[in-house]
Amino acid sequence: MTSISQNAIDILRENDRGTYTVPTKGLYPFQWNWDSCLTALGQRHFDENRAWTEIETLFEHQWPCGMVPHIVFHQKDDGYFPGPDIWATDRPVPTSGITQPAVAGFALKRLFDRAADPAQVAPRAAALLPKIAAWHRWFFATRDPKGEGLVAIIHPWESGRDNSIDWDIPFDRVPTDGIAPYTRRDTQHADPAHRPTKAQYDRYLWLVEHFRALQWDTARLHDASPFQVVDPGFNAILLRACADLADLAETLGRSDLAAENRAFAARGLAAMEGLWSPDHGQYLARDRVTGQLIDSASVGGLLAAFCAIPADRAAIIAETIDRHATRYRVASHPPQDPRFDAKRYWRGPVWLVVNYMIADGLARAGQADAAARITASSLDLIRENGFAEYYDPQSGEPLGGGRFTWTAAMVLEFLS
């Protein structure tokens, strides 16, 4: 019998396109930002050199302003919508015009710390360091214009949790009039009942067309967007990346970048307190347009444990995960909420990448048992149901794309 680690390696090799890895064949034929950074963590277990290349390739497509786009369209492929013609960002190699969770700083530090020979990879780390620092600088300059310490996403796709219940209220404000007719491709690869709705796609597209009309001038898009949301999960990833990048910068003799990123992390952590909900026992997203916290206890507020939140908050998050009590943890939305939908993408299903980051954060915060329960549950899910894109948290049914890259990468991490 083939071991799950060998299966995971086979999937990572199968989806490898030489210098970048596709999330899965057919459904997602390009390079996605946070997928790649997490994929590198899996690749390091069998090919360290290849893992570094994955992140280096992504940063070759960083925009001059510092933004790292959420998709790099390396090759033509009509199997995905919206493709490069819709984005029309006018980049040498086409990319999308929005970003994704900034997990690169965390991934870089982990690759460096766990390298077989850190001295040998130090030059590669030193070359990536200022690029990641420029991305972080871009975030705070363009997505936190009032200096609150936390950044906003301006499109649900940026969160990586596309159709989360968190976005329902602010997303209602996005109009749909005037969008060009389009044909979705995701619903041709996967069950439409497990994907975002047409009403959501219309709004995704309206925002893309709106930003395109502003020539993708990233300095203007935040204020011009009717959708501005401060997501605790997205910010936790960025703040963890800032703290990790600061440590690495110190080690590599870049005390300027260390100081800058430490300051981002400290200010952001203080501001995270404003997102805490004692009633829900977790953090919540804030609608920046209205200033209101959004009453949606999704996994984004549990993912906050990935950054250095206070230990008592991490303990409460561990209890909240237990209280939601799905057979497979961690559901992207708790079944106790009537809006929960066990099979629809980010409105209920379990995603292994999120599990990995929550478990990592809880372990660091002294919640070793809670972290171990997430790891064990994640590996059960794979042994029983294979390497899917996401899973029903109650039945474990595999959903979305199959032979999925970042799921495979996380398995190698969970097993290590």
Are 359 and 375 contacting, i.e. CB atoms less than 8 angstroms apart? yes
User: Minimal CA–CA distance to 299: which of 382, 379, 393, 377?
Assistant: 393
Q: How many CA atoms lie within 13 A of 279 on its CB side?
A: 7
Q: Which is nearer to ligand 9YW, 99 or 326 (CB)?
A: 99
Counting contacts by CB under 6 A, is residue 402 touching ligand 9YW?
Answer: no
Counting contacts by CB under 6 A, is residue 158 touching ligand 9YW?
Answer: no
- Positions in 217-276 near ligand 9YW (CB under 6 A): none
Counting contacts by CB under 6 A, is residue 28 touching ligand 9YW?
Answer: yes
- Positions in 98-157 near ligand 9YW (CB under 6 A): 157
Counting contacts by CB under 6 A, is residue 160 touching ligand 9YW?
Answer: yes
Taking contact as CB under 6 A, which single stretch among the options 13-21, 26-34, 110-118, 295-303 is the one that binds ligand 9YW?
26-34
Q: How far is CA 217 from CA 63, 64, 224, in A?
A: 11, 11, 11
Q: Which is nearer to ligand 9YW, 23 or 361 (CB)?
A: 23
**Between 405-415 and 368-385, two packed helices, what is the crossing angle to 10 degrees?**
130
User: Minimal CA–CA distance to 42: which of 8, 66, 73, 71?
Assistant: 8
Least distance between ligand 9YW and beta carbon 334 (Å): 19
Counting contacts by CB under 6 A, is residue 206 touching ligand 9YW?
Answer: no
- 390-405 b/e (C-beta count within 10 Å ≥ 16 → b): bbbbbebebbbbbbbb
Counting contacts by CB under 6 A, is residue 196 touching ligand 9YW?
Answer: no
Among 8, 20, 23, 31, binds ligand 9YW (CB under 6 A): 23
Catalytic residues: 162, 389
How do strand 390-391 and strand 71-72 relate by DSSP bridges?
Answer: unpaired
CB atoms inside a 10 Å sphere around CB 306: 29
Q: Which is nearer to ligand 9YW, 28 or 106 (CB)?
A: 28
Taking contact as CB under 6 A, which single stretch among the options 7-15, 28-36, 51-59, 296-304 is the one that binds ligand 9YW?
28-36
Close Cβ partners of 397 (under 8 Å, ≥ 6 residues apart): 343, 385, 391
Binding positions for ligand 9YW, rule: CB under 6 A: 23, 28, 32, 34-35, 157, 160, 162
